[in-house]
Amino acid sequence: MNAPLAASQIDPALLEGLRALLGARVSTSESDRAQHGRDESRHAARLPDAVCRAMSTEEVAAIVKLCAAHDTPIVAYGAGSSLEGALIPLKGGVSLDLTSMNQILSVRAEDLDATVQAGVTRKQLNAHLRDTGLFFPVDPGADATIGGMAATRASGTNAVRYGTMRENVVNLTVVLSDGRVIRTRSRAKKSSAGYDLTGLFVGQEGTLGIITEVTVRLYGIPEVMAAATCSFPTVEAAVDTVIQTIQMGIPISRVELLDDRAIEAVNAYSKLTLPVTPTLFFEFAGSQSGVEEQAAIVEELAKGEGASNWRWSTDADERSKLWQARHDIHWAIRALRPGAKGWGTDVCVPISALAEVIREVRKETSQQSFGTTLVGHVGDGNFHLGMQIDPDDPAEWAKANEINDRMVKHAIRLGGTCTGEHGVGIGKMKFMREEHGEALDVMHLIKNALDPKGIFNPGKVLPA
């Protein structure tokens, strides 16, 4: 959505200070501000009063000190790919663009870790690692910055095997609200030395501090990778197959569910002829014999649940063909209804509750005027219902809102969460009390202790 253009309200003294520090890397131009006022979500844009491009942790610290002295809000900006409005500067102020902090500072193959500046993207890191035999597994849809991924506790299709940013951040360099710089933790693989500040700053969405450097875990690239797809009579049968797979400890590297409507969308978009029925996409990794063994067990489990059409391959080209439908889903959904605005929901539930939540929401969405598709990181109990809304039809928005509300509350009742990987941002704040109860008050205590002036990303994550 476009932001309403408005003149920058920045305090002239602050602007002068920022210019003295950053020169031409401060901007109040409309185009810069407009670019930094919107994300990939349905949330209304809002322009920052200025955009600052920082090159180092020291510069970030100096910017924060200046802003703090002028009680001016600061919102960190990375790839701009937030899906819940996390980067929209609701109260104006400074959008702190960290994309120029794109240096890979060190790769330590022996320790299986790497330290990068916050603006390095995941694809950039993996391209850099290409010759080492190592990789960084966390893979949200977008080529997000690693700082942004840490700030939202991102994950993706690899999480079922490798975990999320929670498990894959070793430590962070963070600028606090008074401009002090801390490192959250040592580089030791494990530690019992005090409070887990790394965990605290992963997922805080820029409300407690600005992440400027990230040390992440790396993994050896598996010797062999293989893919399979498989059609199921029902969503339940697919989910049961996944539950059994995980209970048996099969170290599956990816397992994604597409419902019949998502399959329809990719068939149309990519001219495929997949059976229009719930489908699982698998990836296996390991040694040759390990992969074959895994696949044979999973095939057996799937067939026990009535699956058909088991197709598999270890060949890279064939693999990407099998996964094509999954890869195309974003564009396929968009193509369903040109001009529509997409809304990707993001609940995550204990896997025992997954089929029930999906069944309920599909019952409801089957009666709507707008198209919906369902794609799930089903090994983690996380799925995205995509709704294609006419941006000019308030009745559709209201209905979509209703569907999302009901689905989220259902998920929370069954032990789940309002967001598996997109973050709270603006859109999920209204569910925080219901999900957390009085634990939300503890989050407020921490926010007030670490950012007493409330300059970091105000109006986000914690409802007032």
Out of 9, 29, 186, 309, the residue judged to bind its own copies by CB under 8 A: 186
Kindly indicate which of the ranges 50-58, 216-224, 227-235, 252-260 contains the residues binding its own copies, using the contact rule CB under 8 A. 216-224
Q: Does residue 64 touch its own copies according to CB under 8 A? A: no
Give me the least distance between CB of 177 and its own copies, in Å please: 11
Quick one: 350 or 391, whose CB is closer to its own copies?
A: 350
Contact call for residue 187 and its own copies (CB under 8 A) = yes
Specify the stretch interacting with its own copies by CB under 8 A; choose among 96-104, 111-119, 307-315, 359-367: 111-119
Minimum separation from the CB atom of position 125 to its own copies (A):
18
With binding defined as CB under 8 A, does residue 184 bind its own copies? yes
The interface with its own copies within residues 401-460 (CB under 8 A) comprises: 411-412, 415-424, 428, 431-432, 435-443, 445-446, 448-450
Q: Which class for 178: exposed (0-12), middle (13-18), buried (19 or more C-beta within 10 A)?
A: middle
Cβ nearer to its own copies, comparing 133 with 275: 133
Binding characters for its own copies, 242-281, by CB under 8 A (x = yes): -x--xxxx-x------------------------------
Of residues 132-161, which lie at the interface with its own copies (CB under 8 A)?
133-134, 152-155, 159
Examine residue 177 and tell whether it contacts its own copies (CB under 8 A): no
CB of residue 285 to its own copies, shortest distance in Å: 9
Q: Does 109 help bind its own copies (rule: CB under 8 A)?
A: yes
Q: How many residues bind its own copies (CB under 8 A)?
A: 97
Work out whether 464 is an interface residue with its own copies (CB under 8 A): no
Q: Specify the pairing of strand 50-53 against strand 74-77.
A: unpaired
Q: Using CB under 8 A, pick the residue from 30, 58, 111, 328 that binds its own copies.
A: 111
